[in-house]
């Protein structure tokens, strides 16, 4: 099915106006309410000057109204940019400057706080439209909004008659960048729709089902929750950020009677390890999906034993190829000695290729770098032709003129069973607690601390639910005195908490390799050899 993302939701609003569309913490919107509120907001945005292709920055907490704001942006012909309100303002400022929005929508106390922190830094264009979407945002005295949510009731509840194209960007999602600046991935309507064309029938998502919305709204996985659920006429149950602990998550699944639970492996591990899998399982669950990092097989087995009636699917894919590009559904409870869960086969419309450094296919079973082609491949990084040229390349195969591949940086092999297997990374990108982190971004932030002479940030594989811990080895400039704890505080103003190293190793000088560069492998080995108690863990 082609068209635009919001059209699919409007169709459901016509078919089942009174059905619940989105719910969180006692606040729910029916399909009719979601449709009318998003149309009114879209009318307001257009009236205040939003043009086709303009960016709308969402300084908005997770809430049903934030989903309405996303749809409103699309109905107005714009591109939304969901922002991580838990990140320090310095980092969010980089994202907002890059996105260059003409409109800012503020929702919730955290949204208002972020707006107040950014506004004095001249991050927003002088004539940017600012709308507050709830009372918590309006009470902040530093905001003089162009409109408030109260103004919307007087606006026509029909969507503006603007047309956009499926190849237009629907949203920009910012991920960690190795140089210290987050990079914006452009995601089009067509790419999301193509993924849903495969996923909805594959998972049999249908009206009345109760779908989880666990990841934050700036994660690309949330795109599947939102549009998968709303296009199918199902109920989207947003998990409030305060529902954090394993037992709370378990209660949420049970009390919301979820039929689908989709989370990063760290969340599944956390639940399995700390009492989040009740003995009686989750009666309502039909399927459990995960994506974003390696799920340890022992955790999968715990889940499959706890909910034997559910279907379990591993989804694999980077943001740059839209939500997920391959899938593997477990045919049966695996043996205890299962070494790795395959990332499986390409979703319809996508292609996985394992190539060598000359872009030639490696033989079946050989390790190579994984490239993705097909409908999910993003047009590139936002306003960054250099990085785009590095990550996205013309398909080198004969007869593929005009087609492109995304270079994932992942290592993989094609197994004799016809399934692809993930084998790690070619670079220093890691996943920790499900978050994608370029270690270079942490090093760039450390380099800005004048007391630091040298530093190396490495990923340390761990048995804990975080999967990979972040370790920082550093030496100080002559005469500088700084404890690891003080260094961590200095970083806190620049990096989100999930990027802060949890293990520290002060050194007189960092180990070097033959050509004088910091030997990161050696640093990693030192961390692996050290007992966690030997290093400072603030």
Which positions lie near ligand AMP, rule CB under 6 A?
Answer: 175, 220, 291-294, 314-319, 343, 408, 410, 422, 425, 431, 436
Shortest distance in whole angstroms from residue 426 CB to ligand AMP: 10
Shortest distance in whole angstroms from residue 431 CB to ligand AMP: 6
CA gap 413, 352 in Å, rounded: 10
Residue 473 or 495 with smaller CB distance to ligand AMP: 495
Shortest distance in whole angstroms from residue 344 CB to ligand AMP: 9
CA gap 124, 103 in Å, rounded: 9
Alpha helices in 229-384 (DSSP H): 229-232, 246-255, 265-273, 297-306
Shortest distance in whole angstroms from residue 215 CB to ligand AMP: 10
Q: Looking at 381-449, which runs of residues are DSSP E strands? A: 392-394, 404-414, 420-425, 429-432, 435-438
Residue 189 or 218 with smaller CB distance to ligand AMP: 218
Residue 411 or 451 with smaller CB distance to ligand AMP: 411
Residue 146 or 462 with smaller CB distance to ligand AMP: 462
Shortest distance in whole angstroms from residue 436 CB to ligand AMP: 4
Q: Are 499 and 437 in contact (CB under 8 A)?
A: yes
Cα–Cα distances (Å) from 97 to 88, 188, 248, 499, in that order, read 14, 21, 37, 21
Residue 3 or 390 with smaller CB distance to ligand AMP: 390
Residue 230 or 291 with smaller CB distance to ligand AMP: 291
CA gap 282, 278 in Å, rounded: 7
Residue 315 or 472 with smaller CB distance to ligand AMP: 315
Shortest distance in whole angstroms from residue 521 CB to ligand AMP: 19
The DSSP annotation for 104-134 comes to EEEEHHHHHHHHHHHGGGT-S-TT-EEEE-S
Shortest distance in whole angstroms from residue 370 CB to ligand AMP: 8
Residue 345 or 425 with smaller CB distance to ligand AMP: 425
Q: Minimal CA–CA distance to 45: which of 155, 203, 164, 121? A: 155
Alpha helices in 81-224 (DSSP H): 89-99, 108-118, 135-138, 189-203, 221-223
Rounded to the nearest 10°, the torsion over CA 148, 221, 124, 139 is 30
Residue 180 or 467 with smaller CB distance to ligand AMP: 467
Shortest distance in whole angstroms from residue 147 CB to ligand AMP: 34
DSSP-based three-state secondary structure for 461: strand
Rounded to the nearest 10°, the torsion over CA 87, 171, 467, 405 is -140
Query: Beta-carbon neighbour count of residue 194 at 10 Å?
Result: 23
Give me 244's structure tokens: 């954090």
Alpha helices in 392-454 (DSSP H): 439-447
Shortest distance in whole angstroms from residue 219 CB to ligand AMP: 7
Q: What's 87's DSSP letter? A: S
Shortest distance in whole angstroms from residue 7 CB to ligand AMP: 26
Rounded to the nearest 10°, the torsion over CA 239, 241, 244, 250 is -10
Residue 38 or 319 with smaller CB distance to ligand AMP: 319
């Amino acid at each position: 099915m082609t068209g635009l993302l919001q059209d699919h939701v409007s169709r459901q609003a016509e078919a089942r106006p009174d059905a619940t569309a989105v719910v969180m913490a006692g606040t729910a919107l029916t399909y009719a309410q979601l449709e009318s509120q998003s149309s009114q907001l879209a009318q307001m945005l257009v009236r205040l000057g939003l043009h086709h292709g303009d960016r709308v920055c969402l300084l908005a907490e997770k809430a049903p109204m934030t989903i309405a704001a996303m749809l409103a942006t699309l109905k107005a012909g714009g591109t939304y940019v969901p922002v991580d309100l838990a990140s320090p303002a310095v980092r969010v400022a980089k994202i907002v400057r890059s996105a260059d929005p003409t409109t800012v929508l503020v929702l919730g106390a955290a949204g208002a706080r972020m707006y107040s922190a950014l506004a004095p830094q001249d991050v927003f264009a002088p004539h940017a439209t600012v709308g507050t979407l709830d009372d918590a945002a309006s009470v902040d005295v530093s905001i003089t909004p162009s409109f408030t949510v109260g103004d919307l009731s007087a606006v026509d509840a029909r969507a503006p008659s603007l047309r956009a194209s499926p190849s237009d960007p629907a949203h920009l999602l910012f991920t960690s960048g190795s140089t210290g600046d987050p990079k914006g991935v452009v995601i089009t309507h067509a790419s999301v729709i193509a993924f849903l064309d495969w996923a909805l029938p594959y998972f049999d998502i249908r009206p009345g089902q109760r779908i989880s919305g666990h990841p934050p709204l700036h994660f690309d996985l949330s795109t599947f929750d939102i549009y998968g659920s709303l296009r199918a006429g199902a109920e989207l149950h947003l998990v409030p950020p305060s529902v954090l602990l394993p037992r709370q998550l378990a209660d949420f699944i049970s009390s919301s009677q979820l039929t689908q639970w989709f989370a990063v492996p760290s969340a599944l591990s956390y639940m399995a390890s700390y009492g989040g899998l009740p003995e009686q399982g989750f009666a309502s669950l039909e399927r459990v999906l995960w994506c974003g990092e390696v799920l340890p097989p022992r955790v999968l087995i715990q889940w499959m034993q706890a909910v034997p009636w559910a279907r379990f699917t591993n989804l694999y894919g980077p943001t740059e190829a839209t939500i997920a590009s391959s899938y593997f559904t477990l045919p049966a409870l695996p043996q205890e000695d299962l070494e790795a869960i395959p990332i499986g086969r390409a979703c319809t419309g996508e292609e996985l290729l394992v190539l060598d450094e000359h872009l030639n296919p490696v033989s079946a079973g050989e390790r190579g770098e994984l490239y993705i082609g097909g409908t999910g491949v993003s047009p590139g990084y936002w306003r960054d032709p250099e990085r785009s040229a590095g990550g996205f390349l013309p398909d080198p195969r004969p007869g593929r003129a005009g087609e492109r591949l995304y270079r994932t940086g992942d290592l993989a092999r094609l197994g004799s069973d016809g399934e692809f297997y993930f084998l790690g990374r070619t670079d220093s990108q890691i996943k920790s607690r499900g978050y994608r982190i370029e270690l270079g971004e942490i090093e760039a932030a450390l380099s800005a601390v004048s007391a630091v002479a040298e530093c190396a940030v490495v990923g340390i594989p761990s048995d804990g639910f975080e999967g990979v811990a972040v370790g920082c080895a550093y030496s100080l400039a002559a005469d500088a005195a700084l404890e690891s704890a003080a260094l961590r505080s200095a970083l806190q103003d620049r990096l989100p908490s999930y990027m802060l190293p949890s293990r520290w190793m002060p050194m007189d000088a960092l180990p070097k390799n033959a050509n004088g560069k910091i030997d990161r492998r050696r640093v990693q080995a030192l961390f692996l050899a050290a007992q966690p108690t030997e290093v400072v863990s603030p």
